[in-house]
Amino acid sequence: MTSAAINDTGRLLEAALAYAREGLPVFPCRPDNKRPWTRHGFKEASTDESVIRSWWSAHPDAMIGIPTGQASGCWVLDVDDPDLFEANCPVPLPETRKCETGKGQHLWFRHDPETPVRNAQIAMVDGERSWPFSSMPGAEVRGEGGYVIVPPSRHPTGRLYRWLSHAKPVPAPAGLMSIVQRPDRVKKAKERQPLNVLAKAIRGADTSYGLAALEAECSAVRSACDGAQEATLNAAALKIGALVAGGELSSGTARSSLIAAGMAMVSHEPSDPWTADTIAAKVDRGMSDGASEPRCAPKLVSEDGERIDPDTGEVLEEIGVYRTLDPGSWQGLAPEPRRWALNEWIPHGQMTLLTGAGSSGKSLLSQQLATCIAAGIPFLGVETRKAVALYATCEDDSHELHRRQASICQMVEVELADLSGKLHLLPLAGALNNELAIFDDKGRLMPTLAWERLKRTIRAIGARFVVVDNTAHLFAGNENTRNEVAAFVNLLNGLAAEIDGAVLMLGHPNKAGDAYSGSTAWENQVRSRLFLERPKESDGTIADPDARTLSRAKANYAKHGEALSFR
């Protein structure tokens, strides 16, 4: 890839793939604060093309992060204050790979496993910046345990990261190594008096809204990765300080919680760990700044029953009342016959749960069922309702789907070409954040970006039969918590009703292998559950390992217990 192309912010995915081809593992970062999108931060950096494509498909404007140290074979001298650095740098620096950043430059040097360079970052002491190297102020180090952002990412300030030199990273000169391997110890911050602005904000009570916001911010602080810890703590203190001033939290609750969360951050530099004094100073300063803009819990519904914008107060819509059904309106009308995707096995307008022991063949069976519905042919001798079908799997890649589909088509005597536009296969194996919904600390379901993307895909292809494989990847709640299972099932029931079709969700049984994993909520919520198993002899042995039985484990709309046997 040319320098011009890799400096084009519209080609972030291409740039990420280009770095990967160079052997540099990459991962996506948030464009507003440089924090990783990945759950485990830079530790998930990859050179795998499919993984990278899935990341930038989910986050097309993500900044490109590269871990420093052994993972990439490089460490970086991060010059944040170029003027200060140039005026004080005591050693001449060689020509090496160089990048222009939002505030300064990154100078890349070759990583030496015999003398690894670790992170060394700026600290705030009594309101003053304390550079990690007193003999070389203006610079930090991104080494083992850290990461950097690379072109063509856009800095939160709006400036583009841009390569100034594509030279190969060279070994750092001895003089520079002697400095970066001996960062100064940060002095303890002085004891502070309570800040008046916070003392005035105390209302003596913590609201549920304030406590929920506090826990969310503390969670972000505790899990902040190296390189983003200070920014995360500062952002949290700013937000919580605003809520303290708005009367949602007492300053005592907020301050102690944020300090405890800060102390829970992992110190990536053993010689310079986080201290209570340093954390307290950052929390106090951030809360003080945040208190200048008080914030209260948003009002979502007006006294007149209208949904309003919490920021502007603008009326968005009238809430109104539920529309009820009047049985009298049905007088003289025949009820509409029940419709099925698979006659008397999988009803329309509902989510059906298919469970079965591992390796029993649930995925193969489901892909075959989707094929039969797309082709409008019987499945195991049972009539299907022809429809566009989608099979989405989190466990198999495109190659496995191809192999399986070829075998299925040969068995049911359907040409692959005949399924074009009728059967759609969606491999999600290896992708992150496949969960269709997550739950907040009060157990309320919140649909995810993956859910919205799935619904848009279904609408775009016109699917009316959807298989999602499986609950282990797509359900992010606690399967032993009934309300979370119920909310998730209702979400998929709503999808089935919206597409005027059916949804089949694959799940796992319990350890005994004869039911479903988790609480009875799965059984209580679904109207239809199928179970796939290998038939056993009276003594519990499996006589024919190729034989299978598909049974109705629960059937509110058909006869319970009927089974289909096949090989």
Query: If the chain, 567 residues long, is cut into consecutive pieces of 10 residues, what is the mean pLDDT of each piece?
Result: 45 92 92 81 88 91 92 92 88 92 92 85 62 86 88 88 92 90 53 35 60 86 76 88 86 88 75 79 88 75 56 57 84 90 93 86 94 96 95 92 95 94 91 82 82 90 93 84 87 91 83 50 81 83 86 85 86
CA 116/CA 69 separation, integer angstroms: 7
3-class SS of residue 419: helix
- Residue 12's pLDDT is 92
Contacts of 218 (CB under 8 A, 6+ apart): 236, 257, 258, 260, 261
Say if CB 118 and CB 144 are below 8 A apart. Answer: yes
- Beta carbons of 181 and 271 less than 8 angstroms apart: no
| pLDDT tens-digit series, residues 347-402 | 998 999 998 877 789 999 999 999 999 999 999 999 999 999 999 999 899 999 99
CATH 3.40.50.300 domain span(s) along the chain: 340-566
437 by DSSP, 3-state: which? strand
Under 8 Å CB-to-CB from 434, ≥6 apart: which residues? 394, 428, 450, 473, 474
- Residues 500 and 538 sit within 8 Å (Cβ to Cβ): no
pLDDT of amino acid 399:
93
Short-list 350, 344, 352, 348, CA closest to 471: 352
CA 72 centroid distance within chain: 24
For 141-190, where are the alpha helices, taking DSSP H only? 174-180
Specify whether the CB–CB gap between 391 and 423 falls below 8 A. Answer: yes
In order, the DSSP letters of 276-302 are HHHHHHHHHHHHHHHTTS---PPP-B-
Distance CA 175, CA 426 (A): 54
- Asked whether the beta carbons of 167 and 97 are under 8 A apart, the reply is yes
Pair 236, 186: CB distance under 8 Å: no
Q: Measured in whole angstroms, how far is the alpha carbon of residue 486 from the centre of its chain?
A: 22
Fold type of domain 340-566: Rossmann fold (3.40.50)
What's residue 158's pLDDT? Answer: 83
pLDDT digit string, tens, across residues 403-419: 999 999 999 999 999 99
User: pTM for the complete prediction?
Assistant: 0.48
Tell the burial category of 430 from Cβ atoms under 10 Å away from its Cβ (0-12, 13-18, 19+): middle
Instruction: Kindly state the tokens that stand for 540.
Output: 């519990």
List the structure tokens of 458.
């279904």
Q: Round to whole Å and give the CA distance between 390 and 374.
A: 9
Q: Is the dihedral of CA 537, 542, 547, 548 positive or negative?
A: positive
pLDDT in tens, 150-191: 999 988 888 899 999 999 999 999 899 988 887 664 443 333
- pLDDT of amino acid 298: 66
Element (H, E) at 484: helix 482-498
The pLDDT tens digits of the residues spanning 288-333 come to: 888 888 887 765 555 555 555 555 556 555 566 778 888 988 899 9
Cis status of the peptide bond prior to 113, with omega within 30 of 0: no
Give the whole-angstrom CA distance, residue 276 versus residue 267: 12
DSSP-assigned letter for residue 318: E
Within 138-250, where are the H helices? 174-180, 196-201, 208-222, 229-245
Task: Name the percent of the chain lying above pLDDT 90.
Answer: 34
Q: Which amino acid is at 69?
A: G
Based on the number of CB atoms within 10 Å of its own CB, is 386 exposed (0-12), middle (13-18) or buried (19 or more)?
middle
Residue 232: which of 277, 279, 199, 175 has the closest Cα?
Answer: 279
Residues 372, 384 contacting (CB under 8 angstroms): yes
The radius of gyration computed from the CA coordinates of the chain, to the nearest angstrom, equals 29
